[in-house]
Structure 1
Amino acid sequence: MFIRKLNIDEESPMDLLLLADPSKIIVEEYMQRGECFVAEINGQIIGVYVLLPTRPGTVELVNIAVIETQHGKGLGKQLVMNAIEVAKSKGYRTIEVGTGNSSIGQLALYQKCGFRITGVDIDFFIRHYPEEIFENGIQCRDMIRLSQNF
């Protein structure tokens, strides 16, 4: 797998980005302000993540996705670890990520990659998304905030 920054003249891999965030409006907004990185295998984009500067010294991993046919192969962990290395190389001191209370696999992944839970944004997904979201038979209501300091 080869990970690179998305070129300015390339179209965003919207299908992939929408796997991690169902709101096209929200995705388009942070794509304008963030840096998008794509993972390729044999020239095909199979994964994506977006880093968004939020305040001095801090960047947020706002989207990370892998195409469904590649799930379970450790590619998500490689993307998260790459995002951490990119953040460090750009001089950030903290990387943050937020995920839904129902995103059980993602919560485990982020903690395995060194993130620690720092807070909960109650009813985030109720306030910001017009449609109800369900994962793992659980309604996604709250955003679990995690971070890692370097």
Structure 2
Amino acid sequence: MHIRELNPGEPLPLELLLLADPSERLVKAYTQRGHCYVGEIDGAVIGVYVLLPTRPDTMELVNVAVAEHLHGQGYGKQLVRHAIAQARRHGYATLEVGTGSTSIAQLALYQKCGFRMTGIDRDFFVRHYEEAIYENGMRLRDMVRLSLDLYSH
């Protein structure tokens, strides 16, 4: 997989981004403020992630998605590792990520990549999303926050 930053004027891979975040309004808002990277195989976009500067020395990984038919093949881990390298390359000290408390595979992925849990934003998905979200047979309510110290890894 080849990973590159989306070119100015190039259309967002919205279908992929919506796999990780069902709110088109929120996706469009943070992609305008952040840096969108795409993963390609033979010229076809199969993965995406977005890095968003949030505070001095801190960047957030706000969306990571891989085409559904390619789940479980290591592409998500490649995207997360690339995001870590990009945040480090740009001089950030901390990379944060938030994911659903019901997002079992994503929680495991982030921890395998070195992220540690830092807190829970209770009812985040109730407050910020108009429609209820269900995942792994459970209603998604809370966001689990994780972070990675970029200088200790």
TM-score by length of 2: 0.97
| Aligned-CA RMSD value | 0.4
Shift of 1:72: 1.0
1:9 corresponds in structure 2 to 9
Gaps of 5+ in 2: none
Residues 71-117 of structure 1 deviation map (CA, whole Å, 9 limit, x = unaligned): 11000000000000000000000000000011000000000000000
1:105 corresponds in structure 2 to 105
Structure 1: which 4+ aligned runs deviate by more than 3 Å?
none
- Tell me the distance in 1 between the aligned counterparts of 2:3 and 2:70: 15
Residues 11-69 of structure 1 deviation map (CA, whole Å, 9 limit, x = unaligned): 00000000000000000000110000000000000000000000000000000000011
Secondary structure in 1 matching 2:87:
helix
- Tell me the distance in 1 between the aligned counterparts of 2:143 and 2:102: 9
- Residue 11 of structure 2 aligns to which amino acid in structure 1? E
* Matched ranges for 1:48-127 at <5 A: 48-127=48-127
Is 1:47–2:47 an aligned residue pair? Answer: yes
Shift of 1:131: 0.5
- Tell me the distance in 2 between the aligned counterparts of 1:72 and 1:35: 25
- Residue 17 of structure 1 aligns to which amino acid in structure 2? L
Percent identical pairs in the alignment equals 64
Is 1:134–2:134 an aligned residue pair? Answer: yes
Secondary structure in 2 matching 1:97:
strand
Residues 113-146 of structure 1 deviation map (CA, whole Å, 9 limit, x = unaligned): 0000000000000000011001111111000000
- Residue 55 of structure 2 aligns to which amino acid in structure 1? R
- Tell me the distance in 1 between the aligned counterparts of 2:71 and 2:103: 15
- Residue 86 of structure 1 aligns to which amino acid in structure 2? Q
Gaps of 5+ in 1: none
- Tell me the distance in 2 between the aligned counterparts of 1:137 and 1:71: 19
- Residue 30 of structure 1 aligns to which amino acid in structure 2? Y
